[in-house]
Every structure is written in C-alpha cells, then in structure tokens.
Amino acid sequence: MSTIAAVNTRNQFRGKVVGVKRSPVVSEVEIETGAGIVSAIVTSSSLEVLDLKLGDPVIALFKATEVLIAAVSND
C-alpha cells in the first residue's frame, strides 16, 4: 500500500469504526467522530485491503466540492 504522507483535503475527521454492513460489491462503514456518526460507502474490495475491524482508529475524508450547505429555519 502507498506510503502517503498527507492528503490535500481539509475535511479530515478522526474517529473509530463503530459499524460495518457488508455486501458483495459495496459496504457501509460507520465512523464515530467528534460531530457524530459519519457514514461511508466504500467498495467491499477496498475494505478488505484496509482490513478494518470495529474499534479501529480511522480518518473520514471528503472533498470540499462534495459538501452541500443547508440554511436552517428558526421554527
């Protein structure tokens, strides 16, 4: 696996694996972070390479271009 020093995206949230739901092609991984659960859909093949287990420390990364912003109503 590549020796990555750093990844450019600023959106990097530390957490730990608290759930993994597997299926043949894609799996859903739940990561508990400081702001709550982040859900990630990844290929099951890539998940095997990382060999993730419940409780493992991980980082959830996502690009700024993928983020939508919602204005909140004050009702």
CB of 74 to its own copies, least distance (A): 8
Question: Contact between 57 and its own copies (CB under 8 A)?
Answer: yes
| Minimum gap (Å) between residue 24 Cβ and its own copies | 5
Told to check if 18 binds its own copies by CB under 8 A, we report: no
- Rounded to the nearest 5 degrees, what angle is found at the Cα of 54, between the Cα atoms of 49 and 57? 75
Rounded Cα distance between 13 and 11, Å, is: 7
Task: For residue 58, give the nearest of 14, 1, 2 by alpha carbon.
Answer: 14
Contacting positions for its own copies (CB under 8 A): 1-14, 21-29, 31, 33-43, 45-47, 49-50, 52, 56-75
